Amino acid sequence: MSDHPYLIIDSHLDLGFCAIQINRDITQPAATVRVHDAESTMRGFGSCTTTFHELHKGHVGIVFGTVMSRIDPNDEWTRTGMWDQTQCHGIGMGHYAVYKAMERIGVVRQIHTSKDLDDMVTAWQNPKADTPIGLVLAMESADPSLDPEQVPYWYDLGLRLVSISHYGVSSYCHGTGTEGGLLDRGRPLLDALKEAGIIVDLTHTTDQAFWEILDYYDGPVAASHHNCRALVPGQRQLTDDMIKAIVERGGVFGTALDAWMLDPDWQREKPAWAQTTKATLESVADQIDHIAQLVGNANHSGIGSDLDGGFGQEQSPRDLNTIADLQQLPEIFKRRGYSETDIQNITSGNWVRLLKTVWGKI
């Protein structure tokens, strides 16, 4: 580990889901949660890596925490997939309430504005044991927003980044694993997001929807947890053209740490417990390096780990035990010859720049 820890921003964590669906006490060390999980009725979400305790330990001082529920009638597994948007709204508000409950006990401070963001960045220059984790509210699949008219309500709650689809087909758009583009309700939703000043997250769009959104929507964009198709094939990853298109719009990428998005040999049809990934934190650096080489600078990459987003340590880079190990990444970049400025941009600076550009001075 480096002699001084870097502030790390993680642009995609499903912490609300971990709390209310997996029933984890996300204030505890991962080791404690692992013991709890073994006796839990809700097994099947992998070995815990991510809690506020571990985030603090790894100086992951600012995170994007999701509200996650989608139309997906057959989702008996996570129980966040639903038949109707009224149910998605309920689950989504539950995830938001997790963050409010964490804020009440001082573990979290929600970030709404550039000033909030600056305050958290400053606090994490010299963090104390009780320095809260800054949290930007994000939404994975826009189904919890009952209609475009509800977007301002969500904005007031702090929502600042939305992917309008997830797996399957949302009420607004085709998502990962399907073929198709924006649905009729998608464009009015994009109008409302533009009006509110919410970043559109292009992660989990189909290829067709990706380009349709970029054509239609001229507001800010990003890809919160997304890797490169040149390194790992599949619709879930971004082609080089997509990467360039996002960069042209000033967007930022979060590199995902799910083993199947890092390791082209990972077999999705095989259980995670029946294979060992060759992905390591070096593979994470490879993804970031690919984008840097493609666009000629390191001003667009970040970390959007998605750790504990339905998988655990067994499906993460094999040298990662908990999310605190993200702090090993700066050393890897140093060895690869990245400048101090580049490393700071990757770990936090690029996301800070994007958010402040979108939010202005307030």
Partner 1 sequence: MPPILIIDGHLDMAFNALFYRRDLTRPVMELRNREDSVRGGISSHPDSLERRKGPQTKHFTPTVALPDMRKGRVGMMLSTIMVRVQDPHDNTHNAVRTQAIAYARGQSHLAYYKALEHKGEITFIKSITQLDACVRSWESPTDTTPIGLILSMESADPILGPDQVGEWHGAGLRSVSLTHFGANTYGHGTGTVGGLYPPAYALMDALAETDIAIDLSHASDLSFWQIMNYWKGPVHASHCTCRALVPGQRHLTDDMIKAITDRGGVIGMVFAEQMLSPAWNWDDPRTHYTTATRPMKAVLEHMDHICNLTGNTDHVAFGTDLDGGFGLELSPTDYNTIDDLQCFLDIMRAHGYNENDVAKFAHGNLIRFFKSNWS
Query: What is the contact surface with partner 1 in residues (CB under 8 A)?
Result: 16, 19-20, 23-25, 27, 36, 39-45, 72-79, 81-87, 89-98, 100-102, 104-105, 146, 167-169, 175, 177-178, 268-269, 271-273, 310-311
d(CA 287, CA 229): 10
Nearer to partner 1, 224 or 345 (CB): 224
d(CA 41, CA 26): 17
d(CA 292, CA 286): 10
Q: How far is the CB of 278 from partner 1 (least distance, A)?
A: 19
Nearer to partner 1, 1 or 35 (CB): 35
Instruction: Provide the pairing of β-strand 108-110 with 159-163.
Output: unpaired
What interhelical angle do 240-248 and 281-295 show, nearest 10? 70
Nearer to partner 1, 8 or 98 (CB): 98
CB atoms within 10 A of CB 337: 7
d(CA 241, CA 69): 29
Question: What count of residues does the chain have?
Answer: 362
The amino acid at residue 28 is Q
Nearer to partner 1, 268 or 361 (CB): 268
Q: How far is the CB of 292 from partner 1 (least distance, A)?
A: 29
Q: How far is the CB of 97 from partner 1 (least distance, A)?
A: 3
Q: How far is the CB of 42 from partner 1 (least distance, A)?
A: 6
Q: How far is the CB of 208 from partner 1 (least distance, A)?
A: 17
Q: How far is the CB of 258 from partner 1 (least distance, A)?
A: 9
- Write out the H or E segment, with its range, that includes residue 64: strand 62-68
Q: Label residue 308 left, alpha or beta by phi (over 0 means left) and psi (-120 to 50 means alpha).
A: left
Nearer to partner 1, 1 or 101 (CB): 101
Nearer to partner 1, 90 or 197 (CB): 90
Nearer to partner 1, 11 or 51 (CB): 51
d(CA 327, CA 58): 6
- CA 231: distance to chain centroid? 20
Q: How far is the CB of 65 from partner 1 (least distance, A)?
A: 12
- The label of the residue with tokens 């815990």 reads 48
